[in-house]
């Protein structure tokens, strides 16, 4: 069984391995011991804090295979971005150049540097190791964040975003960044990406063009990747789109990958989730639905704790008459809960 739990300091070695595996362009996990250990400490602090409104907290989860004890993936949430360091995007929009006298009307796309997403929550740092890329593991690692956020809404903003990895090749070359590098910067994409990952963002404000950029002035290669995602990111984008996320024209300033957004209460998994008290009963759990027939429905399930947060995928029996969820003793043990305590859960898949 796979369990999702908060990261802890003893997970550093495997987090470092994941950072190496994730490669160039995965800004939120730089291969830097100081930064990775700081991310773990920040997460431990966030899970232990008593919070009434979102701040600079950063939550990092890991997926652990209980059969082997190995960590096979990670995902995270930033409560509020841009409160300490400026959070930059390009916004893709249109301008009109028209002359009624000459009967000329032209539209042009422009990229404008902005900080429009300051203060929103961000889901981030999702990476599943290749050995675990089967079944519902990727969905589980992603969707569990929406259950956690819905259960602890006071810790997060209503607007939630996700920055999707843009197009770059295996050596780290980004067509979009190559154009910026040629005209405004003197560093390659891996270097710029790494500096951003370790929090050194001042160069962006110092060197990034301050005025809107006409897209037509970019190289054809750069124009072609605006708003496009890396091949390895396409499944993650499709999953978020199925949850109700959409792009409103914001793209990454380095690789032009799209940023998608949704309101927390409108995210499909969060909206469909239920919170019920638990009854532990091995004779019923996961075997029958409320009509007494066999049930194959599986749910992503979380306890309602913070420091001792746990999440699993499990079949449960919903006793509608008594408004409770019946689960097995084994699943209760994995969740760290007892009779009468609460869980929040949502279907692993939705009917189309």
3-state helix, strand, coil in the chain (%, to 5): 30, 30, 40
pTM of the complete model: 0.89
Q: What is the predicted pLDDT for the residue at 292?
A: 43
Contact criterion met (CB below 8 Å) for 308 and 333: no
Which of 309, 341, 311, 349 has the alpha carbon at shortest distance from 155?
Answer: 309
Q: What is the predicted pLDDT for the residue at 28?
A: 75
Q: Work out the end-to-end distance of the chain between its first and last CA atoms, rounded to an integer number of angstroms.
A: 27
Q: What is the predicted pLDDT for the residue at 297?
A: 76
Q: What is the predicted pLDDT for the residue at 293?
A: 39
Averaged pLDDT of the chain: 89
What is the DSSP track for 230-270? -GGGHHHHHHHHHTT-EEEEEE-TTT--EEEEEEGGGSHHH
Beta-strand relationship, 274-280 and 324-327: parallel
Q: Which residues contact 134 (CB under 8 A, 6 or more apart)?
A: none
Tens of pLDDT, residues 136-165:
999 999 999 999 999 999 999 999 999 998
Q: Domain locations in the chain?
A: 2-86+116-266, 274-347
Phi-psi region of 336 (alpha: psi -120 to 50; beta: other; left: phi over 0): left
Q: What is the predicted pLDDT for the residue at 202?
A: 64
Q: How far is CA 266 from CA 28, 237, 352, in A?
A: 26, 17, 17
Spatial separation of the C-alpha atoms in residues 244 and 143, rounded to whole Å: 12
Phi, psi of 38 (to 5 degrees): -65, -40
Q: What's the alpha-carbon Rg for the chain, to the nearest Å?
A: 22
Catalytic residues: 230
Q: What is the predicted pLDDT for the residue at 173?
A: 81
Q: What is the predicted pLDDT for the residue at 194?
A: 66
**CB-based burial label for 273 (10 Å; 0-12, 13-18, 19+):** buried
CATH of domain 2-86+116-266: 3.40.630.30
Q: What is the predicted pLDDT for the residue at 265?
A: 95
Residue with tokens 């409104």: 53
Q: What is the predicted pLDDT for the residue at 131?
A: 86
Please give the distance of CA 311 from its chain centroid, rounded to a whole number.
Answer: 16
CATH of domain 274-347: 2.40.40.20
Q: How far is CA 233 from CA 25, 187, 242, in A?
A: 11, 25, 14
Which of 24, 119, 39 has the alpha carbon at shortest distance from 74?
Answer: 39
Which of 85, 78, 13, 16 has the alpha carbon at shortest distance from 46?
Answer: 78
Spatial separation of the C-alpha atoms in residues 276 and 326, rounded to whole Å: 9
Which of 27, 13, 5 has the alpha carbon at shortest distance from 233?
Answer: 27
**CB-based burial label for 267 (10 Å; 0-12, 13-18, 19+):** buried
Which of 247, 272, 279 has the alpha carbon at shortest distance from 261?
Answer: 247
For the chain, residues with pLDDT lower than 50 are: 288-296
Q: What is the predicted pLDDT for the residue at 180?
A: 82
Tens of pLDDT, residues 234-261:
989 999 999 999 999 999 988 899 999 9
Spatial separation of the C-alpha atoms in residues 315 and 337, rounded to whole Å: 16
Q: What is the predicted pLDDT for the residue at 112?
A: 95
- Identical fold for domains 2-86+116-266 and 274-347, yes or no, is no
């Amino acid at each position: 069984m796979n369990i999702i739990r908060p990261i802890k300091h003893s997970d550093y070695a495997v987090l470092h391995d994941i950072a190496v595996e994730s490669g160039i362009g995965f800004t939120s996990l730089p291969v830097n011991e100081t930064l990775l250990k700081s991310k773990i400490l920040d997460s431990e602090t966030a899970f232990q804090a008593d919070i009434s409104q979102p701040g600079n907290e950063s939550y990092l989860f890991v997926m652990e295979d209980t059969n082997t004890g190995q960590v096979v993936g990670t995902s995270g949430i930033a409560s509020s971005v841009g409160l300490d360091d400026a959070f930059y995007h390009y916004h893709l929009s249109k301008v009109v150049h028209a002359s009624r006298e000459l009967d000329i009307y032209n539209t042009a796309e422009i990229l404008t540097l902005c900080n429009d997403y300051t203060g929103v929550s961000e889901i981030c740092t999702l990476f599943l190791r290749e050995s675990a890329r089967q079944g519902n593991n990727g969905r589980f690692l992603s969707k569990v964040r929406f259950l956690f956020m819905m259960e602890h809404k006071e810790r997060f903003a209503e607007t939630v975003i996700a920055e999707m990895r843009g197009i770059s090749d295996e050596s780290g070359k980004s067509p979009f960044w190559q154009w910026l590098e040629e005209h405004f910067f003197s560093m390659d994409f891996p270097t710029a990406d790494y500096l951003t990952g370790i929090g050194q963002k001042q160069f962006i404000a110092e060197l990034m063009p301050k005025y809107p950029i006409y897209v037509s002035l970019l190289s054809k290669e750069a124009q072609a990747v605006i708003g496009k995602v890396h091949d390895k990111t396409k499944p993650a984008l499709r999953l978020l789109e199925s949850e109700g996320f959409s792009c409103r024209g914001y793209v990454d300033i380095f690789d032009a990958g799209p940023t998608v957004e949704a309101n927390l209460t409108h995210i499909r998994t969060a909206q469909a989730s239920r919170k019920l008290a638990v009854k532990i009963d091995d004779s019923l759990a996961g075997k029958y639905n409320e009509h007494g027939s066999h049930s194959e429905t599986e749910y992503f399930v979380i306890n309602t704790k913070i420091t001792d947060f746990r999440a699993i995928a499990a079949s449960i029996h919903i006793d509608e008459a008594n408004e409770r969820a019946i689960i097995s003793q084994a699943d209760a043990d994995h969740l760290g809960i007892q009779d009468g305590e609460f869980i929040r859960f949502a279907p692993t898949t939705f009917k189309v």
